[in-house]
Structure 1
């Protein structure tokens, strides 16, 4: 079973919504007139303090986000923006979509192999999982920069299968975005959508074998 990270293992807007405003304000401190257009480019509502469903941040890689931000950050380059964004996200407290340690213990005790496939960079992804005490439960962790590409391509999921010796047809991809679900279907996996991201049921349902409220509903769906 492979999980996306943000919006799946961790509630997306509960984790990133309020925090993002301060980060964007800091990025535009020397050009405050760029704050509003930068937020708009990244699909973030300054008024609501939330990411909007079409935000590139929801499913894009950190490189995608940096490229979208680049026109609004004077005297920056893509590499430096990626480095700053990665550093800024390392220590952000993550709001778990369900208590992760008992959830993951239950799945491991049922004999499942577990992985994470995220469009974040691997280093901050591992940092977030470490803080939650979740890292030891995973047999495979990949970011967009781990050498397998990012979603919606299926490279990370093929790598999970290679690492675990499992066939895709016995695996499940769990995610909160169409990028996650497209990757799962491209890999030949069963796809499970959860609603702890920003996308709504109607957007996800056509691409998923099942839509659940959160990962908390997975054990009952699996029968474990």
Structure 2
């Protein structure tokens, strides 16, 4: 272990609970896109791969493996390129602000990170975000 200088972590599923974190963020995005219409927001979430029965995102959902541009293209297929960029910018803002404020750490993660920090490991996070 003496040769290991640093540890690189994936974020979703390793440090944070993906479903607990991203359901709140995705719901915020869907409600924003649906202009507050709950029924329409739920249809957008379903199209993006949220399973309302299991209350989880499907593994191949846009929220599991896509980008905000993918979400915009799915939810707003008729937008002009300029309007798409505005929508992506809005979703980037939402995911940045809401993602950090709504993040749910997996059990034991904070204690583990503290323990690794005291051993002077350099730590980083690799993420699609």
Q: State TM-score, norm by structure 1.
A: 0.43
Which residue, out of 11, 27, 31, partners 2:33? 27
Distance 1:60-1:22 versus aligned 2 partners, 3 A rule: closer
Query: Which runs of 4 or more aligned residues in structure 1 lie more than 6 Å from their structure 2 counterparts after TM superposition?
Result: 30-33
Matched, 1:117 2:126: yes
Partner of 1:52: 58
Matched, 1:105 2:111: no
Q: Quick one: higher RCO (CA 8 Å, sep 6+), 1 or 2? A: 2
Deviations 1:99-118 (A, max 9, x none): 44432121233343211111
Query: Unpaired runs of 5+ in structure 1?
Result: 121-224
Which residue, out of 17, 20, 31, partners 1:14? 20
Separation (CA, whole Å) in 2 of partners of 1:117 and 1:66? 23
Distance 1:73-1:97 versus aligned 2 partners, 3 A rule: farther
Distance 1:16-1:80 versus aligned 2 partners, 3 A rule: same
